[in-house]
Amino acid sequence: MSILACLLAGGVLGTLFFGGLWLTIRFALARANPAPWLIVSSMLRTAALLAALYLICRIDQLGLIAALAGFLLVRVAATRGKSSMCRQRPPRGLKHQIGPSTHPGTGSAPAPQAAEKRAKTPLLARLHAGPGRRPGSSVSC
C-alpha cells in the first residue's frame, strides 16, 4: 500500500471518526440521558479506528505513520476555528451571574427566570457542572 493511499485512508478514518462524534453529540444532547449514547458511540468509533489502523499496520508500518498523519490532519481541519467559540464572552445578563438568580428573601429562582437563565447558560458550562451542580461551581478533592 503506498504512502499516499495510507494518508488518504487516515483522512477517511478521521472524517468518519469526527463525523460520528459530531452526529453523536447532536443526537445525544437531544435526549434526556445522553451518557449511554456517548459511551457506546465512543466505544464503537474507537474500536473501528483501532481495527482499521491495525489492518494498515499489518500491511505497511510506514503506512501506519501516514494514516495517523492523515487522521491528525482531519482533526486539525475539524477543530480549526472552533477554539474561539470556547472563549466567547457570556451572553448579556450573565456577566457577573454564575449561579441561579435568586428571588429576594426566598433564596430560590422563579421558574420563568430559571428557564431563561438555563437557555442563556453556555452548553459546555452546563455539561461541565454535571447533574445537581450549578455552572461555575467547583468540587475540591
Q: What letters, b where the CB count within 10 A reaches 16 and e where it falls short, cover 71-88?
A: beebeeebeeeeeeeeee
For residues 54, 57, 59 and 63, what is the CA-based torsion angle, rounded to 10 degrees?
130
Give the cell for residue 68.
495517523
Q: pTM (2 decimals)?
A: 0.56
Within 13 Å and on the Cβ side, how many CA atoms surround 92?
A: 0
pLDDT tens, position by position, 45-57: 999 999 999 999 9
Give percent above pLDDT 90 in the chain.
42
Residue 79: per-residue pLDDT? 86
